Amino acid sequence: MTEALSPTDRSSLVAERGPVNMAIGAVIVAEGGPGVGYHRVLERVEQRLHLIPRYRQRLQEPRVGVVNPVWIDDEHFDLRWHIRQASLPAPGGEAELAAYVATEASRRLDRSRPLWELHLVEGLAGHRVALVAKMHHAMVDGMAAAGIAAILLDVSEGPPSIEPPEDEWEPREYTTRSHFADLARVGLSEGQRLVLQAIDRVLETTPQEAAAEAQRATELIAALAQRHPPPPKLPINGPLSPNRAYAIASAALADIKRACKAVGGTVNDAILAAVSGMLGRYLAEAGVDPAALARDPVALVPVSIRAPGEEGGNRISVVLVDLPIGEPDPRRRIELLSERMTAIKGSAEVRAGALAIDATGFGPPLLSSVLALAVGGAGGFNLVISNVPGPKVPLFFGGSRVVAIHPVVPLNPADQRLNVGVVSYDGRVFFGLAADRDLEPQIDRAVAALEAALTELGCGAIRNA
């Protein structure tokens, strides 16, 4: 039995060359408790794994030029190989957790096995634990993107009752003849829907829809990049090394809302203003005078284009926006970004490139993957800012409350050495900064600049790990 990869998924495999790593992920921090030990995690995933068939499948890559790669069942599947355990050195704070994530972001997934890993990281300050989820972009077809959340997280302290599979799992045989069979990709079963809906209106999309949306977004970005003036050349743009750096920060969503409300902007405007402030400070440390640049840096960002009064899930498109890093007044930065985003969102082209995503669910993995793939062929911007709303309600892992969710967005293409991932969750906004390990100044200066910019907006950044 085989399942074909979508054109988007195949493109992500091709893109993973040289220093480019197409693994996306998330850092989920939870309070400690009896339900978050290694064997309990192993047991939990094993009980729910039948709901996400892709997690037991690996790539079958035939000889180049013969046929395209396909998904097949891994006849040697070993759950313990995919679920790892680690412990941070003292004091187990933000720096130690970020260093662990950076190491994992530097290491590619083994293509001879299913393309995902889950790391249970212990030793965090405050008796907390972290789950570092890692999967290849090629797995992120909507169903698999939400799958890691469905397996791990609940909307109450008590987990939902999950019916066991009727039969014990057995790998289906792969044959050359089946490789050429015209098999439809499997949609969502009722059991899968029940689990996914438990994650507070989780993203629901078929692989076909996800592939079409990714292709539409990619074409939109390419068209916008061709029409947009070339971005300035910055120290954050240049060839990548194989290794990564990572840093995290967070702020209260209420503080960000207060900052944007004071000048009539949106939460997204305020977040972009904070990133603009960060980038201005960072570039100044790198020896670049923001006021002396011929034009503002350009960011690729997702943006909600839901019309006022429109019901249902959010409609999100991708846009190119100039960041006013030379503006010293944080309130004025929000105003400028509000004006620019309002003009951009009115574009018919941008509205036509919208992705139908429920922004109140666990949708960020899909959009992050779309951005990661799309930027592989476009050079019309300086960095990616992946800002997508996450769950508004608290989630639980093994009965323990999840206190933070930080995105891990891959660096791509080969000339973008810094990006900013943002996810809002349960009243807070969580940042995940990824960078080339050789970037100068190093990433600790970038996250310090972000914290200063947030404080400037009246949003005191809090270290949460």
Question: Comparing 3-169+179-202 with 210-456, is the CATH topology the same?
Answer: yes
Predicted local confidence at residue 95, as pLDDT: 95
Q: Quick one: which of 136, 133, 120 has its CA closest to 58? A: 136
Residue ranges per structural domain of the chain = 3-169+179-202, 210-456
Predicted local confidence at residue 440, as pLDDT: 95
**Residue 163 near residue 193 (C-beta atoms within 8 A):** no
Question: What is the model's pTM?
Answer: 0.84
Helices (H) and strands (E) in the chain, counts: 14, 16
- Digit-coded pLDDT (tens) for 151-208: 778 878 876 666 676 677 676 653 333 322 322 233 333 333 433 443 333 333 444 5
**Residue 255 near residue 274 (C-beta atoms within 8 A):** no
Work out whether strand 129-136 and strand 116-122 pair parallel, antiparallel, or are unpaired: antiparallel
Full DSSP string of 383-423: EEEEEEE--SS--EETTEEEEEEEEEPPP-STTB-EEEEEE
* CATH superfamily entry for domain 3-169+179-202: Chloramphenicol acetyltransferase-like domain (3.30.559.10)
- How far apart are alpha carbons 199 and 147 in whole angstroms? 10
Residues of the chain predicted below pLDDT 50? 65, 141-145, 174-207, 311-313, 357-365, 462-465
Predicted local confidence at residue 70, as pLDDT: 85
Predicted local confidence at residue 36, as pLDDT: 92
- Digit-coded pLDDT (tens) for 231-260: 999 999 999 999 999 999 999 999 999 999
* CATH superfamily entry for domain 210-456: Nonribosomal peptide synthetase, condensation domain (3.30.559.30)
Q: Quick one: which of 108, 98, 113 has its CA closest to 16? A: 108
- How far apart are alpha carbons 380 and 279 in whole angstroms? 17
Predicted local confidence at residue 228, as pLDDT: 78
